[in-house]
Amino acid sequence: MAQAGIHSILAVAVKKWTPERTWLLLGIILGSMLPDADNLAVAVATVAKLPAEGLHRTFTHSLFTIVAVVAFFYIVARITRQPRWNNLGIGLGIGILLHILLDLLIWFNGVAILWPIPSWINFWSGVTPPAWFDRLMLTTEFLFFALFFMGLSTLARRQGTDLEYLRRLRTWTWLEFDLFLIFTTLVFFLQKGFMTPYGLVYLLSLGLAIGVTIRMRKTADAMSH
């Protein structure tokens, strides 16, 4: 399973090296999370009892996808004459690239980095992590989402942005902490039927994190200033 929470935190961490361009850091944060939305395709295939192979870490994790995304938003910027769309596209491209690199470095699986060209790369092909580690990596996703929300809240207070949203953000933060505790318990004690509720809640949490990031775009813009 993906670790979109880790990716989002890393994206925020690069803010000190981000030029002052509207929507650029916003794009980096979103781009760092969006590749794992391919889990939605996996979920649909699973529910429909169709093959899910080749749906995760393929089309959303490809260098060609980066080129397509950057090109698309460049065209949008030229048509609308609003440079922020080009900044968003560049940010998305950087975020997706950061996501790919982090997946290669810390996840014990491969990435089809040149999809649709066969190009499966796995730096850890000879390593098999213990079962408890795999289980813990699943549930800590919610912990990292909570930490991401906490970081956004701290930065918003420091910058004086999106202050009216912080009460709601606190609710989402505690929700993710609670999910971490609940699913950490379930993953070690529930023998069957864990992945279905986990997958559903994970996708909802990923959607929430993307929505919160867009809602707090003023904070994202102010971070790089």
Under a CB-based contact definition with an 8 Å cutoff, are residues 25 and 220 in contact?
Answer: yes
Pairing of strands 120-121, 111-112: antiparallel
- Look at the block and give the residue holding tokens 């699943």: 138
The Cα 216–Cα 225 span in angstroms is 15
Task: Output 172-181 pairs: Cβ under 8 A, ≥24 positions apart.
Answer: 172/208, 172/212, 173/146, 173/149, 174/146, 176/142, 176/143, 176/145, 176/146, 176/149, 176/205, 177/142, 177/143, 177/146, 179/142, 179/205, 180/139, 180/140, 180/142, 180/143, 180/146
pLDDT score recorded for residue 178: 97
Between these two residues, 118 and 50, which has the higher pLDDT value? Answer: 118
Q: Is the pLDDT of residue 79 over 60?
A: yes
In the predicted model, is pLDDT for residue 1 greater than 50?
no
Maximum pairwise Cα distance, the chain: 56
Q: How is the chain split among helix, strand and coil, in percent rounded to 5?
A: 75, 0, 25
Residue 136 in this model has a pLDDT that exceeds 90:
no
**pTM, entire model:** 0.91
Q: Which of 12-26, 43-57, 158-172 has the highest mean pLDDT?
A: 158-172
Higher per-residue confidence, 113 vs 195? 113
Return the pLDDT at 103: 86
Grade residue 45 by pLDDT with cuts at 50, 70 and 90: confident
Q: At residue 202, does pLDDT exceed 60?
A: yes
Mean pLDDT confidence for 183-199? 85
**Given this model, what pLDDT does residue 83 score?**
94
Higher pLDDT, 144 or 222: 144
Q: What is the pLDDT of residue 4?
A: 65
Q: Is residue 14 predicted with pLDDT exceeding 50?
A: yes
Please give the DSSP secondary-structure letter assigned to residue 161: -
Question: Rounded to whole angstroms, what are the CA distances from 224 to 94, 183, 217?
Answer: 15, 35, 12
Confidence label for 130 from pLDDT (cuts 50, 70 and 90): confident
pLDDT at 209: 94
